[in-house]
Structure 1
Amino acid sequence: MAENSDSLWNGAIEAHDYRDATASYHSAVFEQYKLCVEMADRVSSRRNLANTFFLTLHSSLLVFLGAWFTQGSHRRVPVALGLGALLVLLGMCAAWWFTVRSYQQLNRGKFEVIGALEERLPARAFVVAEWRALGEGKDWRVYIPLSRVERWIPLLFAVAYILGFSAAAL
């Protein structure tokens, strides 16, 4: 985090010189902090919306494919077409996985900046204290980071597609 802290400040005031800082400076830091926290929250909302979109899409596709395969009409589909459909579905799973990963990386960067801003505030409640209270995500009984869980979902759908198409091919 020190790297980001060093690159965050523009040199107008030394990084640890709290005594000479003016009230307007502290106010500006706090306003930027609030904006960064709000933007991190918006990224999390967009991430949840993307996950909802992919989950709905894949759940609908599984229902459709399940109904279609149980009617026996899958036997009339050429193997190449079935394989093509499987590759498209696996591509959609990969797109979902990379989308989740991208949002995780974006949030990680935002929280590093928020942590650097908290160095100038009286309390480091959000990034340091809360994370420590949650055991830093190391003990699953205290807290399981959502980012660890949500990356498994596209992989589980991919496995379901592979197993389903394999069973249908038999």
Structure 2
Amino acid sequence: MDLAQYLSVSESHLTLKTSPPPETDRAKTERLEIYKLLVEMSDRVSQRRQSANNFYLSVNTLLVGGSAYLGTLQPRALNVIVISVAGIAICAVWIINILSYKTLNQAKFKVINDLEQRLVEQPFHDEWGQLDPDLDGQRHRPFHQVERVVPWIFMAVYIAQSLAIIPWKAAAAYL
């Protein structure tokens, strides 16, 4: 460590420098490269998130269709209920996955935004200023708020399918 960057020494005085040493071009270049890497990594996380959502959407579409088809066969109740329970479980995992990606993205963008404060331009900060200038969520709703509704819709479909196969008149006779 070079103490000269923090101390000024003269014949009769020892002074602590209050301003940091000037930043080198190398440090600026490294910061910019790290910033670009972080932005690229966050984009990859978003791509993985979209791939995961596509997977869950496909599986649930298959299960809902399969459950509807099996509901036309005999015996139908057990088949539909088993598929519906599996679908609800998959939706629960999907919701956990969405929340996991949300926290991962929040952490990544916190690091990016913190690093961005030390750059000449702050494009992500500026973008959010345009998307939600009042910070009230009215003009722009974050993606996770929209995407987390989809698994709940599938759960409602599974529950409705299960309830639809119950012979309610026969069940009422036992009450």
Q: TM-score, normalised by structure 2?
A: 0.77
Relative to structure 1, the CA distance from residue 60 to residue 168 in structure 2 (aligned partners, 3 Å threshold; closer, same or farther) is same
Partner of 1:156: 153
In the TM superposition, 1:111-130 aligns within 5 A as 111-126=109-124, 128-130=125-127
2:63 aligns with one of 40, 61, 64: 61
Separation in 2, partners of 1:63, 1:18: 65
Please tell me the residue identity of whatever aligns with 2:123.
Answer: A
Q: Cα gap change, 1:125/1:115 in structure 2, threshold over 3 Å: closer, same or farther?
A: same
Change (3 A) 1:115 1:18: farther
Match of 2:128 in 1: 131
Q: Distance in 2 between matches of 1:78 and 1:125?
A: 55
- Are the structure 2 counterparts of residues 147 and 78 from structure 1 closer, same or farther at C-alpha, using a change threshold of 3 Å? closer
Q: 1:29 to 1:167 in 2, by over 3 A?
A: same
Question: Residues 125-146 of structure 1, C-alpha deviation per residue, up to 9 Å, x if partnerless?
Answer: 11x1111100166344x32221
Matching residue's letter, 2:119: L
Structure 2 counterpart of 1:147: 144
Cα distance 1:64–1:86, how it changes in 2: closer, same or farther (>3 A)?
A: closer
- Identity of paired residues, percent? 32
Aligned equivalent of 1:42: 44
Identify which of 30, 33, 45 aligns with 2:32.
30
Could you list the structure 1 runs, at least 4 aligned residues long, displaced by more than 6 angstroms after superposition.
none
The structure whose RCO (Cα within 8 Å, separation 6+) is larger is 1
Tell which structure's C-alpha radius of gyration is larger: 2
The alpha carbon displacement at 1:63 in A equals: 1.4
More helix by share: 1
Q: Which amino acid aligns with 1:33?
A: Y
Structure 1 spans left out of the alignment, 5+ residues: 1-12
SS in 2 for 1:76: coil
| Alignment-mate amino acid for residue 118 of structure 1 | E
In 2 relative to 1, CA 86–66 (structure 1 residues): closer, same or farther, beyond 3 Å?
closer
Alpha-carbon spacing, 1:18–1:46, altered in 2? closer, same or farther (3 Å): farther
The CA deviation at 1:124 is: 1.1
Q: Which ranges of structure 2 fall in alignment gaps of 5 or more residues?
A: 6-18, 168-175
Instruction: Note the aligned Cα RMSD (angstroms).
Output: 2.1
Q: SS of the counterpart of 2:40?
A: helix
* 1:67–1:77 Cα change, 3 Å: closer
Letter in 2 for 1:144: R
Going from structure 1 to structure 2, the CA distance change for 1:139 and 1:109 (only over 3 Å counts) comes to closer
**2:83 & 2:62 partners in 1: Cα distance?**
15
